[in-house]
Chain A
Amino acid sequence: DIQMTQSPSSLSASVGDRVTITCRASQTLSNYLNWYQQKPGKGPKLLIYAASSLQSGVPSRFSGSGSGTDFTLTISSLQPEDFATYYCQQTYRNPKTFGQGTTVEIK
């Protein structure tokens, strides 16, 4: 299985901050890497697919970059509704696997 490692596991930030979350894969994914946001009691919401493509309806403050084994999710200016847990997922090879999640908390 392809192992996905996110860092950090959690972070504290203030509204307006620039936030960066990293995801590293145990083998190359090309750009088969997606990012999801999850809030308590809800299913994950797709933010970014194919490493850098913004899902329709997602604010442009979210962006993704990277290819191969190293990927980044950036929130350019953190908003109150962005406090949540973020997961990366590889869909390059079955079984599809997720990172362990990064929780963004209010400082």
Chain B
Amino acid sequence: QVQLQESGPGLVKPSETLSLTCTVSGGSITSYYWSWIRQYPGKGLEWIGEIYYSGNTYYNPSLNSRVTISVDMSKNQFSLKLSSVTAADTAVYFCARVKGGFLFMDVWGKGTTVTVSS
């Protein structure tokens, strides 16, 4: 049974770079898309972007210039970097597996809270 676990700092200073890693266990990272999603304190969900195991990426245009998603097949991990963060980037960050031609998210991590504050 595939499980996902987010990890990374819970507190990031304004203007710095948020860095998170998602570790995939119980299955291989190959042959799937992998996604990052965030949830604001008001509960809204925002798709950040996704990566295919081969490295192709798709980002939300609202974040395009600040976001980078990468994959490390040797570690069965994929990562998120979000630069120049502000308080508006404070959220719970989830990683998820994207499956099938309909690109639904069938496995999610538990989420990690990131607060942007000095």
Pick the contact of A34: B105, B108, B109 (CB < 8 A): B105
Q: How far is A45 from B44 in the complex, measured between Cα atoms in Å?
A: 15
Contacts of B45 in A (CB 8 A): 44, 87, 89, 98, 101
**Residue B75 interfacial (CB < 8 Å):** no
How many A-B residue contacts, CB cutoff 8 Å? 56
Number of interface residues of A (CB under 8 A): 23
Q: Are A50 and B102 in contact (CB under 8 A)?
A: yes
Pick the contact of B110: A42, A85, A96, A101 (CB < 8 A): A42
Q: Are A55 and B106 in contact (CB under 8 A)?
A: yes
Q: How far is A45 from B96 in the complex, measured between Cα atoms in Å?
A: 10
Interface string of A76-89 (1 = CB under 8 A from B): 00000000010101
Q: Are B102 and A95 in contact (CB under 8 A)?
A: no
**Residue A43 interfacial (CB < 8 Å):** yes
Q: Are A98 and B102 in contact (CB under 8 A)?
A: no
Residue ranges of A at the interface with B (Cβ–Cβ < 8 Å) = 31-32, 34, 36, 42-46, 49-50, 55, 85, 87, 89, 91, 94-98, 100-101
A34-B102, A42-B110, A49-B106 are known; give 19 further A-B pairs, CB within 8 A: A31-B102, A32-B103, A34-B104, A36-B105, A43-B96, A44-B105, A45-B108, A49-B100, A49-B102, A49-B104, A50-B104, A85-B43, A89-B45, A95-B47, A95-B60, A98-B45, A98-B46, A100-B44, A101-B44
Sampled A-B contacts (29; CB under 8 Å): A31-B102, A32-B102, A36-B105, A42-B110, A42-B111, A43-B94, A43-B96, A43-B108, A43-B109, A43-B111, A44-B94, A46-B104, A46-B105, A49-B106, A50-B102, A50-B104, A55-B106, A85-B43, A87-B45, A89-B45, A89-B104, A91-B103, A94-B58, A95-B61, A96-B47, A98-B44, A100-B44, A101-B43, A101-B44
Residue ranges of B at the interface with A (Cβ–Cβ < 8 Å) = 43-47, 58, 60-62, 94, 96, 100, 102-106, 108-111
